[in-house]
Structure 1
Amino acid sequence: MTKKKEKKQKNSSQKKTYKGIVDVTRSGMAFVVVEGLDSDIMVKQKNLNSALDGDEVLVDVIRQGKSMGRMEGHVTDVLTRKKTEFTGTIQLSKTFAFLVPEKGAWLPDIYIPENSLKGAKDGDRAVVKIVAWGEKTRKPVGEIVEILDATNANDLAMKEILVESGFPLQWPKDVLDELAAMPGAGNLNAKDREGRKDFSKILTFTIDPVDARDFDDAISIRRLKNGMLEIGVHIADVSHYVQPNTALDKEAEHRATSVYLPDRVLPMLPEKISNELCSLRPHEDHLCFSCVFQMDDKAKVKQYWMGRTIIHSRHRFTYEEVQEIIQTGEGPYFEEVLLLNKLSQTLRAARFKAGAINFSSQEVRFQLDENAKPVGVKVNQSDESHQLIEELMLLANRTVAEYVSKQKVNTHPIPFPYRVHDTPDEEKMHVFAVFAGKFGYKFDATSPETIATSFNKMLTLVQGKPEQHVLETLGIRTMAKAIYTSDNIGHYGLGFPHYCHFTSPIRRYPDVMVHRILAQVLEGEAKIDKLLEKRCKHSSDMERKAMEAERAANKYKQVEYMQDFIGQTFEGIVSGVAHFGFWVETVFAKCEGLVSVHGLREDYKHSETDYALVGLRTGRRIRIGDKVTIRVVGASLPKRQLDYELVEEGSDLPPLKKGGRSERVERRDGSKKTGKAPQTKSRKKKK
């Protein structure tokens, strides 16, 4: 054997193959992320072998860096496609076409044969699904799913955001076929009712947003003969209709979550399931999976029962209606509502006393006109009506998780999709503690428990003070992200050693998994799901993608809204800093834009420990939480980007008037006028 052949054979025998996820950077360079490896495997574009961002692949290491540095690889097989639908522009020839993706998408043009064009014209925007890859060319072949209406800019933008995030716009034919075979809502037969505890005669009602159409939870309440209160948390029994390994189940698992954009909801389940069969509408019998508690008047749980039920909701409340009952003591079922509120507030106080962190939360929503154009902003605070439902849902979630955690199969714990939240990162916590100390707030970081206590003390003391916004914002950023996993490390933020998601199976796939496993346990037939951790990871990934889509859509609406205020000045709060500039969120509309350092009067350096930009000449600090005045100078819808400039003291602009707005307004034609802050109109959110 020649030395050349011997060396080749030796290298071949040492070749390593790994399984991982492709991560394509903005520059187009790709890496395969392998769990357990210290560094990712670099893959050049020519060696991706049709793999795309997010795909699960097998990769061979073809080159090892010097001194065990960065490995280079070649993708040998694509195991799972993360995404199959893409948006772009049609380039039409006589008998075929290509979909040309957006610049920077790092996707080859998709070939579309004539019989898959569906009437598309040259230059049309479209959604295309990849159905095959050429054997020789390794180029994608696709079919048109939907031709997008370029005249409706908002609809086009929202759909492109969803597709970019990996969420399909339409239901596959096999899913629609399964739906067609299902009975209509309200048609419960004897088999549906079999083996269920009947709660239909017990007072039950729902509490949801005014524009909700899918009611996936209901509350029942009654006083028992022994003097105890029976509180039922009833959740739509989605798993009764969505059976494992059906087309409907596979599609739900792939989507993993519903996506909520400003003007629409892309549901995890088709409307026949989410808004009809499983929506707990009033005055109808519905199938539920329930967690029922016996508790005393001090909210101490004495015993509980879990199982499948039948309920009949007597009334559909909105949060606003319940809040009015709480405040006035008058309204439908006011005695029961007030009692439930008292129990929930007791549970809430006990939770914080036990170590939960009391971060306040607010939801910012755009008010849209009939064309989905933003005309105003509404900030929803968490009030007692929301907390009533929240605390009962938390009680059910942790009770289910705690119960299943004690069950075993052949002496082994049952794999279960826990919702976990890790303790804060030590380095981030140290930086934050030093920063909070500059405002006089002391942090005891000796243990997770003392950190939680310090956080709650600070959050109480900071209320109404100038530094409240910055400390609340940065405090949240020190926290880890909650995820789904079978490794039960507990939920730090809630202070629960056991926690899961049981209460929203219409919009979250992990809840469906929880229902199935709980049903198996209750029936004494628990099974080991070897793919559960993979499903958990996928659900966590899709949850993150849904949040990114929601942020992108909200940003689009922010830009669309602020387009009308180019040249106007606003009071804002510095919401983030970087070496190239800082972000400001306007007070009146909560719209965030970037102030570039290039537009400032002096050079600045970025101080990570102070969360600030520091002027090299004057030492002036621009820090997160600072109040500033900005002028809107740019609003790009294609880039979803707002550009602001800092209005410095001594500039030619008039001083800011009370309310945060200069009355000087610059028209788009360059002329000037005076104006008042825009009036907002309330409207019901479309779904």
Structure 2
Amino acid sequence: MKKSKKNKAHRSMDAASLASRILRTMERRPSVVFPLADMALEMGMMERSGKILTKAAFSILVSAGHISEVKPEVYQLAMEENLAQGTLQLTSSGTGYVVPGGGKDDVFIKESNLGTAFGGDLVEVQLFPTRAKRKLEGQILRVIKRARDRYVGTLEFTTQHAFLVTDSRKVGPDFYIPLKQLGGGKDGDMVVVELTKWEDAESHPQGKVMEVLGERGEHDTEIHAILHEYGLPYHFPEAVEKETEAIPETLDPKEIKRRRDMRKTLTFTIDPVDAKDFDDALSIQSLGDGRWEIGVHIADVTHYVRPGTALEEEAQNRATSVYLVDRVVPMLPEKLSNKVCSLRPNEDKFTFSVLFNMDEEGQVHDRWFGRTVIHSDRRFTYEEAQAVLEGEEDALSTELLTMNCMAQALRKARMKAGAIAFDRAEVKFRLDANNEPIGAYLKQAGDSNKLIEEFMLLANKHVAQVVGRQGDGKRSTRTMVYRIHDQPDPTKLETLSLFVRPLGYALATQGTQAVRKSINDLLKRVKGTPEANMLETLTVRTMAKAVYSTQNIGHYGLAFDDYTHFTSPIRRYPDMMVHRLLQGFLDGDKNPSVSVYEELCEHSSSREQNASEAERSSIKYMQAKYMEKYLGEEFDGIISGVTDWGVFVELPHMGCEGLVRLREFTDDYYYVEEDQFRIVGDRTGRIRSLGDPLRIVVKQVDVLKKTIDFGVAEGGSPGAFGRSSGSTRGRFSDTRPTESGERWSSGRGDAGGSSRGGSRGGSNGGSRGKSGSSGRGGSSFKAKGPKTTPKKKRR
């Protein structure tokens, strides 16, 4: 029997030609889903070699973004209405979410559909058809823009290969490193790798070692790894250093004459004990008749950092100073941040000031904005100022107590207007000379902190008003940089309401004023309780993110219609922008381009988020390092989160949190009740809920992964008894990180493997050992395998 011409056709056709035929066919039927076998039949490719060719043709079309593989070997045309763009967020389970922005729903991405994207990349996604009420799902078609091109991890060698093992699956798969591209790195070294290519999602990304950071576990190595991971520079460029050196440390007499001279007005600063970059100072003098002139004086950074300079470009790129546990990565060189601009005591300094004519009830009767020269008479630490407010005698007692009365009145007015009364404790460490943690504690803000806060808030609000409002109170068209904060997402409010209900708290989820009052009532009721820090953390996560924008929508958390950042230009670039915009307004200059400033706002918001994540990473590292000293010891904690793996327990007096796996509870087999945020014993009905006390034992600490595992101490609190009606076993249906990169618990990361920081072994998948690798894909390799780039296997 003669074979048909159709069956012979593939012998003279290559994959590219067949891809063109297939694409034309799919374009004629755009809504049809094509299984590979059906298309092979339609193309006359029924022999085995023809099916292989058809699959190759489909692969070409998928790579080009013309079609998507909606299921294994099932394809659909990529239509524009089924496409979305957004940033990829990876979870420690290996899946991902694409966040499109603009209020659109996130798109779930299976590990097999991640393509060649890393966490943080801007990607294009093909959306899959979904049933009603199902979450959106899709496949990444292409990477539009890489979040970065350098990655940090540990070198691991096999007999013929080397790999960079990243610390978290939230970054992406491990890198294959050709032996000729090791850059002097040795097995076990922590290194920085540059991505050189990643063409095929079935193989590892390939890279070359650009810098060897040192041995894992060394303090400087780990901190430098955090700096690299978040793109934080060690040094300033040479051009910036040269410009900085040329800046005089003495004040120009001609410039002094152009300014309002306030050097004889009593002025002081209040800052942390270890601070060197003093952004702000306060002055006070009596005007008689119960009136006071209060000056808020801010370092005049833009007098020294001018547009078009290398200093300006570097400050713009960095956008913020970053405060790690043992060091500061400054936005400006030390000479500027700690000397020239810093409002140090007993030195004349140039400042940009807001002067308020106020009474002791905090009412503002008049205000003035302009450039000044001041002389700080005194430097207080927060602790010293707090002692004065609590009754200790001091030469400035009258002034501090007067200003504290005003600050309390300002705060009371904000609370009455609906401001949210967040009063979160800050995790602090005591470090020895070698940066080893010798203490960990939670520091609560005192009245001295709140005094400074209220006057900074007042200045920021009035600067936003004077530029952003006309004389009649209507919004002006003048370009301005605002600090905006949207209302909380109703879905997140509902989740928080469900979260706190088992603890005996109620939360309104509708009505702006009702929600404000309800949140404040919750925060007031939990203050001083063991679960206070946990619940404040969860409430903060319910809020929208505050960002910078030229479009003013007000600040929900502060209950301000107008707000900006003016008071910290040494450490925040947006404050520098605001200084220039305010001066331009005062001088009557032409209105600057709003588009330029909006782009800078987006960049600054992004860098701020990056800095926050770096700071959290350094805290997690130091917490793990601190808790390593207490292996085998017992502590009292409270359940701060519930997840698939078990419960998270926070140690309230030090802010450390660890995972207690379900298998650690030996009194019963526990399952998760997702709607109630608790675990329930299968046999006994014993319930362990959010906020319950639990005595734990420190079982395992992985400093390198920044994770802590707890066990249940003998005699640990058994929790409440009883079985809820209608309970369902199962997992949380949504494991997506929240905006801050966390899941719905009070902790600081996702769990996976040995703990929240993610893992490549243990219960979460095949271990990553000397004889293999891990990542996206399906196949594994052996140590004696080929010298070509090995295929990947799942972590």
TM-score normalised per structure 1? 0.80
Say if 2:303 is the partner of 1:237: no
Spell out the pairing of 1:397-416 with structure 2 (5 A cutoff): 397-406=460-469, 413-416=477-480
1:345-387 deviations in Å (ceiling 9; x for gaps):
1211222122112232222211111111111123322111111
221-230 vs 341-350, which deviates more? 221-230
292-301 vs 65-74, which deviates more? 65-74
In structure 2, the residue matched to 1:524 is 588
**Using a 3 Å threshold, how does the CA distance of structure 1 residues 110 and 507 change in structure 2: closer, same or farther?**
farther
Q: Which amino acid aligns with 2:687?
A: R
In structure 2, the residue matched to 1:172 is 237
**Using a 3 Å threshold, how does the CA distance of structure 1 residues 424 and 283 change in structure 2: closer, same or farther?**
same
Q: Which amino acid aligns with 1:425?
A: D
For 1:435 and 1:8, the matched residues in 2 are separated by 48
For 1:647 and 1:313, the matched residues in 2 are separated by 54
164-173 vs 395-404, which deviates more? 164-173
Say if 2:572 is the partner of 1:508: yes
- Select which of 376, 380, 388 maps to 1:313: 376
TM-superposed deviation, 1:310? 1.4
- Select which of 611, 626, 633 maps to 2:699: 633
For 1:241 and 1:141, the matched residues in 2 are separated by 41
TM-superposed deviation, 1:243? 2.3
TM-superposed deviation, 1:445? 4.5
Instruction: Flag structure 1 segments of 5+ consecutive residues without an equivalent.
Output: 652-687
- Select which of 537, 543, 552 maps to 2:617: 552
- Select which of 320, 343, 349 maps to 1:286: 349
Q: Which amino acid aligns with 2:386?
A: Q
For 1:460 and 1:268, the matched residues in 2 are separated by 37
Q: Is the 8 A contact 2:96 2:114 kept in 1?
A: no
**1:416 counterpart SS class:** coil
Q: Which amino acid aligns with 1:595?
A: V
For 1:650 and 1:463, the matched residues in 2 are separated by 25
Matched positions, count: 632
Say if 2:668 is the partner of 1:602: yes
For 2:359 and 2:268, the matched residues in 1 are separated by 21
Q: Which amino acid aligns with 1:620?
A: R
348-357 vs 455-464, which deviates more? 455-464
For 1:616 and 1:46, the matched residues in 2 are separated by 36
For 2:190 and 2:529, the matched residues in 1 are separated by 51
**2:595 counterpart SS class:** coil
1:234-268 deviations in Å (ceiling 9; x for gaps):
11112222223433223222222222122111112
1:587-609 deviations in Å (ceiling 9; x for gaps):
45332111000121322232344
In structure 2, the residue matched to 1:157 is 222
Say if 2:334 is the partner of 1:271: yes
Say if 2:516 is the partner of 1:452: yes
**1:393 counterpart SS class:** helix
1:161-208 deviations in Å (ceiling 9; x for gaps):
12112222222233223323x3232x2224543632222221111111
1:99-143 deviations in Å (ceiling 9; x for gaps):
9463754475679999x96xx5655846658599899xx998878
Say if 2:459 is the partner of 1:393: no
Q: Is the 8 A contact 1:348 1:391 kept in 2?
A: yes
Q: Which amino acid aligns with 1:619?
A: G
**1:401 counterpart SS class:** helix
For 1:7 and 1:387, the matched residues in 2 are separated by 68
TM-superposed deviation, 1:72? 5.2
Q: Which amino acid aligns with 2:715?
A: E
TM-superposed deviation, 1:561? 1.6
**2:594 counterpart SS class:** coil
Q: Is the 8 A contact 1:87 1:125 kept in 2?
A: no
Q: Which amino acid aligns with 2:701?
A: A
For 2:452 and 2:127, the matched residues in 1 are separated by 55
- Select which of 327, 334, 339 maps to 2:397: 334
For 2:464 and 2:528, the matched residues in 1 are separated by 37
Say if 2:438 is the partner of 1:375: yes
Say if 2:431 is the partner of 1:365: no
1:413-454 deviations in Å (ceiling 9; x for gaps):
344332222223323334544665666655454422122223
TM-superposed deviation, 1:223? 1.4
In structure 2, the residue matched to 1:647 is 713
For 2:455 and 2:310, the matched residues in 1 are separated by 33
For 2:694 and 2:538, the matched residues in 1 are separated by 18
For 1:466 and 1:43, the matched residues in 2 are separated by 39
TM-score normalised per structure 2? 0.70
In structure 2, the residue matched to 1:658 is none
Q: Which amino acid aligns with 2:549?
A: T
For 1:519 and 1:613, the matched residues in 2 are separated by 58
* C-alpha RMSD over aligned residues: 4.0
Q: Which amino acid aligns with 1:204?
A: T
Say if 2:677 is the partner of 1:611: yes
In structure 2, the residue matched to 1:570 is 635
Spell out the pairing of 1:423-502 with structure 2 (5 A cutoff): 423-433=487-497, 436=500, 441-464=505-528, 468=532, 471-502=535-566
TM-superposed deviation, 1:159? 1.3
In structure 2, the residue matched to 1:250 is 313
Say if 2:655 is the partner of 1:590: yes
**1:311 counterpart SS class:** strand
TM-superposed deviation, 1:287? 1.5
1:259-309 deviations in Å (ceiling 9; x for gaps):
212211111222122111211111222121111111122221001111222
Q: Is the 8 A contact 2:154 2:165 kept in 1?
A: yes
Q: Is the 8 A contact 1:217 1:504 kept in 2?
A: yes
TM-superposed deviation, 1:52? 5.4
**Using a 3 Å threshold, how does the CA distance of structure 1 residues 372 and 514 change in structure 2: closer, same or farther?**
same
**Using a 3 Å threshold, how does the CA distance of structure 1 residues 615 and 89 change in structure 2: closer, same or farther?**
closer
For 1:134 and 1:620, the matched residues in 2 are separated by 50
In structure 1, the residue matched to 2:735 is none
**1:175 counterpart SS class:** helix
**1:531 counterpart SS class:** helix
Q: Is the 8 A contact 2:350 2:374 kept in 1?
A: yes
TM-superposed deviation, 1:214? 0.6
Say if 2:411 is the partner of 1:348: yes
For 2:216 and 2:508, the matched residues in 1 are separated by 57
**2:455 counterpart SS class:** helix
Instruction: Flag structure 2 segments of 5+ consecutive residues without an equivalent.
Output: 1-19, 31-65, 67-76, 718-795
Q: Is the 8 A contact 2:114 2:139 kept in 1?
A: no
Say if 2:603 is the partner of 1:538: yes
- Select which of 255, 259, 269 maps to 1:206: 269
For 1:474 and 1:23, the matched residues in 2 are separated by 20
TM-superposed deviation, 1:317? 1.0
624-633 vs 64-73, which deviates more? 64-73
Say if 2:102 is the partner of 1:102: no
Q: Which amino acid aligns with 1:500?
A: T
Q: Is the 8 A contact 1:362 1:382 kept in 2?
A: yes
TM-superposed deviation, 1:611? 2.6
Q: Is the 8 A contact 1:124 1:147 kept in 2?
A: no
335-344 vs 67-76, which deviates more? 67-76
**1:330 counterpart SS class:** coil
Q: Which amino acid aligns with 1:382?
A: A
Q: Which amino acid aligns with 2:641?
A: G
